[in-house]
Every structure is written in C-alpha cells, then in structure tokens.
Amino acid sequence: MEQITKPISKILRKEMCDLAMTISYKTNMWNVSPTKKDISDCFLYLIVSYAESMNVSYETGLIKLWGFSYDQSDIKENIIGNNILAIYNGEIIDTLKTIHGIEMFEKNIKNNFDLFSFIKRNIAISPIIVSFDTYYCPWSNLFQKYHAFHYILINDMIKDCFICIESNSKNNEKLPFDGFENWRGHIFTFKLKKVTPNFFDYIHTIEEAVCFNKGNLIWNLNKCKEAFFKYNTFENDIKGFGNDFYAMPLIRSLKQLSDQRYCFSSGLGYIGKILNINNIFHNAQRSFSNCGELYNYLKMIIIKQILSNKTDFEKITNIIDDIINCETKNIKLIDEALSELRDGSSRISNIVEY
C-alpha cells in the first residue's frame, strides 16, 4: 500500500485540535479496551477488543484464521521469513457480520487530509481502525527502528492527539496528529446489528475453512521446507535486527501461525458449545492446539539456533514434517466431523439469537 508523506497543514491541524476539544465536551470516549487474549495478528486483535468491549460474541470468525502460504513469486533476497505468509480467509469479515452482527465498513483514503476529515465526521459514530506504520508509533519497540505494516484503533481525540489501542500495548496510547504525516490509507468502521444465525450458518463456516486449505496448505508447507534446505542459513533473516527476534518476519510469522491454530481450536469450541455438539469437535480441537504448539516449538528452536550461532536445519525440517503431519490430520478430522454433522443434521435443531 502506498505510503503518504504529505505534511499536515497548519489549518487542518488547528481544525483537528479545535474539534478534539469540542468532542471532549459533547461525546464520551469510545471505551474499547485492549483484549487480554494473546493475539499477535494486529487486525484481529482490534476486532476482538471491540467485540469484547461491546459485549458481543465474535468467536466464529476465528474459524477463518486457518491458513499457510509460502510465496515463491519473489526470491526477496533469500529471506525465508519474508516468504512465509500467515494468510487467512478474507471472508472473516462476512462471517462476523452474518453470525455475530459485527458489520465492518472498509474504505481506502488517499491522503492525511481526507483521513482527518473522515475521522472528524465519524469518530462520534464508531471507533475507527486505521492502518499505520510501526516506525511512527512512539510507544512501540519498533519506533524509529523498523517499518512494519500495522493497524491501530482510534477511540477518541483530545487536544493534539488521537487516543488509540493496538496489539503491542495493553493501555490506551496517545498518538500525536503529526504522527500521521507518514500515513497509509486503509480504514475500517463498525456497526452492530441483530442477527439470528442457524445451524447451517455455523457448519458452512467450517466447511469454507477446510475447503480454503485443501490442496494448498500442505503444498505450501512442503515448499517452505524445501526453502530451509536450499538456503541453509538465517543470515539474511537476522540482518539488521540484532536480537530483536520478534521484529524478524520469520519469528513474527511463526508466532502468528501458532496463534491462529489456537484461535481455530477456540472457534471450534465456541461452535460446539452453541450447538451443543462439543463431542464432535473434541479431537479436532486437541489436534489444532497441538499444531499451535508445534509452530511455537519451531519458533523457539530457530531463536535458540540463532543465539547459539549453531544451525541444525535437519532438526528444523523434521519439525516442519511434524507440522505437515499435524495439518494433514487437522484436515482429516474436520472432514470427519463435518460428515458426522451432515448425517445427523436432521436431528439437530438450534437457532441462536444475539
């Protein structure tokens, strides 16, 4: 996404400061508090924080987090971490809307002037998720060190700054208006509505998740394993990061992949509880949790090898083989659970209201 560097005009800055003072008297601050859940995906983190603060459920959306891709379209200087993509199904927003009544409206804006104008018109209607560069987040450990695409949620405006939350802080933070001189143009707003999902809405969500991964997830994992054999070094992955391991794309991606498997297991648990069919998903939940542990184990082994300056790529690829076996088992268990549900669907009648 193109980075915008047009400075904030003095007139616009004064208007924003005046507006912030007006808002502080006319509205209450959006009280979206950071979730206490361990979620490394910055976008999902903000959605979960919003849902919890608004006291609405969101857990079915976690089903859409299962995915893995190894991008071979660009060698990217032999940096393995840049090619690992913790992708997930883009229909997560549709799932949140259909099953949980959380509508999200996406908008691309070209410059910081239009951004400020949009926030001016909409901050009293909804908290606003804004894409951002961690290089300009003063509270982040990446501040003025590394550029990374990121999201923050704006709760309010006071004086000359936004009040916001994001995944690297457990508190409301102050982001000066001037921080938006280098702004990326992607935003979301929220709206809640009443929905009445049925049994098949939930099951269709799981069906879409397994279809999304069949035929490509295992193939991509094998390509990733081949890359470790081919490059046989972390030299390019760690260049410029020192011991800031969680700033490295490789470590960040593995952390995210681990979290996504735990989230999927949690999503299955939620659906099982809602539909009173926990026993059907029990084995799949346990398998996804085990898979999350394997990605986390791979992450820790890589960190250990970097610290000791002793690489053992045979050990790493053996762990990836374990992951491949576990992901293959995940697909099989979900297929079996869906088959059992289809056979017994006529005996199950559940309508859930929010």
Cα dihedral 271, 272, 276, 277 sign:
positive
User: Of 266, 277, 231, 269, nearest to 250 (Cα)?
Assistant: 231
Lowest mean pLDDT among 116-125, 184-193, 326-335, 344-353: 344-353
For residues 193-209, give the mean pLDDT.
93
Alpha helices in 232-312 (DSSP H): 235-238, 249-274, 278-308
For residues 212-240, give the mean pLDDT.
87
d(CA 207, CA 63): 10
Q: Kindly report the number of other CB atoms within 10 A of residue 344's CB atom.
A: 11
Where residue 349 falls among pLDDT bands split at 50, 70, 90? very low
d(CA 267, CA 330): 14
Indicate the domain borders of the chain. 3-192, 199-344
For residues 285-309, give the mean pLDDT.
95
Question: What's the pLDDT score for residue 323?
Answer: 98
Where residue 74 falls among pLDDT bands split at 50, 70, 90? low
Comparing 134 with 344, which gets the higher pLDDT?
134
Q: Specify the 3-state DSSP secondary structure of 117.
A: helix
The answer on pLDDT for 350 being more than 50 is no
User: Of 147, 121, 134, 39, nearest to 86 (Cα)?
Assistant: 39
Question: What's the pLDDT score for residue 193?
Answer: 96
d(CA 209, CA 189): 25
With a pLDDT cut of 70, the percent of the chain lying above it is 86
Strand partners, 173: 164
The answer on pLDDT for 281 being more than 90 is yes
Q: Which CATH architecture has domain 3-192?
A: Alpha-Beta Complex (3.90)
Question: What's the pLDDT score for residue 338?
Answer: 93
Question: What's the pLDDT score for residue 98?
Answer: 93
For residues 98-127, give the mean pLDDT.
90
Question: What's the pLDDT score for residue 5?
Answer: 41
The answer on pLDDT for 127 being more than 60 is yes
Question: What's the pLDDT score for residue 15?
Answer: 61
